[in-house]
């Protein structure tokens, strides 16, 4: 196939168009085209490709199509991931040589997972948190910030927002000897789901000043 082009890229799909091979190279009647699309996995953004996952899509030839130009949409792609796509023409005897690969980066979306809290250092009124970065396949874009949610048993909660470069933060002003549930969400084009809740108990503190003291 010739003139393979990728266009109309979204977070989970791309449009691919192509022209059929020169007629002298058909070696029979073309009955369909095979599109191979490969997810190119990297350790980190901009890094080397360390693994790949290939899938294939068969596109039947429409008998009435006479201009030898074709297109289809490849769906169910992962957001903010690099893909390569190539096309092969098929006769009843099998499929021929693939075209040269074309490459694209799907658009970003919100994260599909939240960070995992890796450590929590507790005092009577603070919790110092550390968390792991969201895995690249679930990040779905560039992390702009993190939101920390902390909740106590009676349903009262609070939220704090941190910068994208931070993976450590101290929550101040907590109540001594109180059980808190803490979770974190990442934000790209929007805030994703919160990660697994980590429960921590603040330490005890000295009692407050007695009230309503009277002398009789």
Per-residue model confidence (pLDDT) at position 107: 96
User: At residue 137, what are phi and psi to the nearest 5 degrees?
Assistant: -70, -20
Question: Using CA atoms, how far apart are residues 205 and 216, in angstroms rounded to an integer?
Answer: 30
Q: Residue 214: its pLDDT value, please? A: 78
Per-residue pLDDT of 102-122, as tens digits, reads 999 999 999 999 999 999 999
Residue 202 zone, left/alpha/beta (φ > 0; ψ -120 to 50; rest): beta
Bridge partners, 87 (sequence order): 35
pTM for this prediction: 0.80
| Phi–psi pair at 50, nearest 5 degrees | -110, -15
- C-alpha distances (whole Å) from 181 to each of 113, 148, 156, 210 are 18, 11, 11, 30
Predicted pLDDT at 61: 75
Distance CA 18, CA 69 (A): 6
Q: Which residues of the chain have pLDDT under 70?
A: 25, 43-47, 62-67
**Structure confidence at residue 41 (pLDDT):** 85
- What is residue 79's predicted lDDT score, i.e. its pLDDT? 95
């Amino acid at each position: 196939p010739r003139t393979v082009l990728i266009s109309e890229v979204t977070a989970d799909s791309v449009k691919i168009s192509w022209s059929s091979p020169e007629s002298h190279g058909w070696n029979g009647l073309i009955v369909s085209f095979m599109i191979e699309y490969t997810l190119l996995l990297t350790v980190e953004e901009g890094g080397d490709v360390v693994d790949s996952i290939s899938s294939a899509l068969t596109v039947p030839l429409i008998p009435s199509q006479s201009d030898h130009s074709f297109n289809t949409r490849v769906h169910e792609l992962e957001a903010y991931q690099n893909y390569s796509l190539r096309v092969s023409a098929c006769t009843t005897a099998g499929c021929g040589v693939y075209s040269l690969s074309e490459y694209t980066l799907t658009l970003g979306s919100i994260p599909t997972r939240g960070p995992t809290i890796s450590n929590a250092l507790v005092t009577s009124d603070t919790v110092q948190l550390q968390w792991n970065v969201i895995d690249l396949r679930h990040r779905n874009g560039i992390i702009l910030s993190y939101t920390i949610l902390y909740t106590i048993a009676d349903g009262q909660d609070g939220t704090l927002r941190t910068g994208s470069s931070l993976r450590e933060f101290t929550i101040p002003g907590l109540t001594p000897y109180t059980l808190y549930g803490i979770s974190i969400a990442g934000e790209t084009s929007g805030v994703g789901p919160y990660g697994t809740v980590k429960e921590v108990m603040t330490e005890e503190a000295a009692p407050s000043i007695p009230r309503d003291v009277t002398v009789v």
